[in-house]
Every structure is written in C-alpha cells, then in structure tokens.
Amino acid sequence: MRAYVPNYQLHTPQTLHETLGLLAHEAGVWKLFAGGTDLMVLLEAGKLVHRNYLNIRNLEELRGIEITDQQVTLGALTTYTDVQANAILREEFPMLCQAASETGGLAIQNRGTLGGNIVNASPAADSPPALLAYDAELELVSASGSRWVLYHGFHTGYKKMIIRPDELLTRIRLSRSTETPRQYYRKVGTRKAQAISKVCFAGVAQINDGHIDDARIVLGSVAPVPLRCIRTEAVLRGARVDSALIAAAQAELAREIVPIDDIRSTGRYRLQVSLNLLKDFLSGS
C-alpha cells in the first residue's frame, strides 16, 4: 500500500548554512533526504513514518573527493558510481569500490550516497563494513560547530547513532598508507546482484614474515549494527598465520557475533558463512 504523497513535505535548502539553521531551530522536525534510495522504498510501501524532509542532494559543500598525501576525504553525497570511478580508491581502497559495485543496480549506484548508507544505519548495508575495516572517520557538523569522530562506535544499537538531531554528516575520511595490507571483501546474498546481504565480510591485515602485525575484521548482517570484531582481532594480532590460529580465531568469532533467523536467512547459516569467510581471509584464498 503506497503512502499518500500530499501528507509529506520536502523542502530544498539552498545552502549548507540554511540546512543547519533549520536543523538547529526545528530539531526533530526535519530529516534529511539525499539519494532517497531507501526512503522511497518505504514511501512506496506506505511505511515512511516521518513526514518532513530536507532535500540536501544539491548541496555542493557535501560533494567531491579530496586527495592528499595522507588522506582521502569523501563528501557525504559521494555516490557509489563516484567511488568506482576514482583511481586512488580503486588502487588503495578496493573493498570500498567492490562494495559500491555490489550495491543495488546502476540506478541505485548513480543516486545512492555513502553518507546515506551510513546514517540509514542498516546492519545489512554494503559500504559500512569496508569503511569500518579502513578505520574511517566521520565529520558531524551543526550550526554550533563541527567534530570528527571515529566511525567505529558511531552505531550504538539498531538504527541508533551518536549523531545529534541538529547534526549533519558532511565528510568521510580515510587514511592512506605506504604499506600494502591484505584486503578481503565478500558479500553473500541470495543472488549475485541486487540482493540484501545475508552476510557481509570486510577484513584488512598487515602481515609481515607470516605474522599479523595488525588486523581489522568487520561483519554485516550478523548483529544489530555493522560489527567490528574487536575480540577476534585481538586473537590475531601478533600471531603467526597457521591452522591453529585460524581455528582459534573462528572460535572467538563464533562467540562474538550474534546472527539471527530472519526472512533472508538463518542464524546458523550466517554463523557458518562468517567462519568460512574468516578462514578464506586469513588463508589468502
């Protein structure tokens, strides 16, 4: 059943300053509309509860990819198509590019945004596991100022975040490295394309002489939030990669994630796939 469109209001601010003013003076009244690829699905299904939206799609302050020797900074309105087209991202952050290429179809990739994927806060989203594995930072801006926060810790529960009602996610920052870590991204769904993930895995590890100097493991669709697996990382850090370590890491991961049964999959399947993906990552498959 479709929603009744005249019940909704969509206002288009001309500047970021105007947007932040509305969020500050009418906190909780307005929610943001960027690509709309998630919101329009809810509208079509008659399940879009909030009624007042600010269309920020045309705000130039939220666009662009800035590259320095130390960092890559992406505007929150960077689309999945923009990500895939950037040569530095393809070379140094291939997991993010792969996530972008596996998000929906071409129409969604042309319109959907990284910022929207983050603040929509779905535990099954495709880009958050890669961004978390890259240890991304987020810039949150309000009329009273701005702050940078680690993406790890941004999601505090299902659809819950540390962003305030008067704040807007403006930029995403990734640190560049001269080292070449092992990277592994895998999305498992019902089909090869345009599927919501049953399990999404992103892993980064710096391995020298067979030992893991550092590792970040992130899983989607196995917890109420995209989950950085800190305890499993601790098992890996400083250890030599062998069959015993893989088994120990799998055992810890099985204790750390909390997959559930739902319409897309079973918890048992999600657990087994997660363990298999961890093994593939560590063994370099």
- What is the per-residue pLDDT for 34? 95
Q: Is the pLDDT of residue 67 over 80?
A: yes
- What is the per-residue pLDDT for 59? 97
**183-283 is classed CATH 3.30.390.50:** yes
On whether the CB atoms of residues 167 and 126 are closer than 8 A, the answer is: no
Q: Is the pLDDT of residue 6 over 90?
A: no
List the domain boundaries for the chain: 5-54, 62-175, 183-283
Per-residue pLDDT tens over the stretch 186-202 = 999 988 778 899 999 99
Q: 266 vs 199, 240, 273, 275, CA distance in Å? A: 11, 33, 11, 15
- DSSP state at residue 61: G
Helices (H) and strands (E) in the chain, counts: 11, 14
Per-residue pLDDT tens over the stretch 15-66 = 999 999 999 999 889 999 999 988 988 888 888 998 999 999 999 999 999 9
pTM of the full structure: 0.95
Which amino acid is located at 247 in the chain? Answer: A
Task: Name the residue with tokens 């906190």.
Answer: 27
- DSSP state at residue 129: H
Question: What fold is seen in the domain 62-175?
Answer: 3.30.465
- What is the per-residue pLDDT for 123? 95
Confidence of residue 1 (pLDDT cuts 50, 70, 90): low
CA distance 126 to 61: 25
